[in-house]
Amino acid sequence: MRRIETLFELCRLFPRLVVFILFGMFHNNPRTCDMATSSEQNQDRFQRRPAVEAMTGLSRSSIYSKMDPRSPQHDPEFPKPVRLGKRAVAWRESDILAWMNGRQSTAA
């Protein structure tokens, strides 16, 4: 069996292994490595409309009705979206969760 003596030779012989090792070292995914700090874990995430629909169980029209002051379904407590670009908005995950936790259960 031949002995690998240099890092360059290792990279040449096993390029996928090197990429896998580097990806694991520098990728900040808490599921794959413990490099994430507590401040990274506490960061607020933006959720796009399909995710908000899934979290709340509301349809697209219901979400926008809750935000429209002229609508009979208007809910002033419902979180406002944050503009991400010209045609893109998202909601803060913490705002959605706070709104959901603040709702009283209507189930008897």
Which residue in the block uniquely carries the two structure tokens 């009705």?
65
3-state class (DSSP) for residue 46: strand
Cβ proximity of 7 and 18 under 8 Å: no
76-91 pLDDT per residue, tens: 999 999 999 999 999 9
Counting other chains too, the contacts that 81-84 makes at CB distance below 8 Å and 24 or more residues apart are 82/46, 84/46
pTM for the full model?
0.58
Cβ proximity of 84 and 46 under 8 Å: yes
20-39 pLDDT per residue, tens: 555 555 454 454 444 444 44
Cβ proximity of 79 and 96 under 8 Å: yes
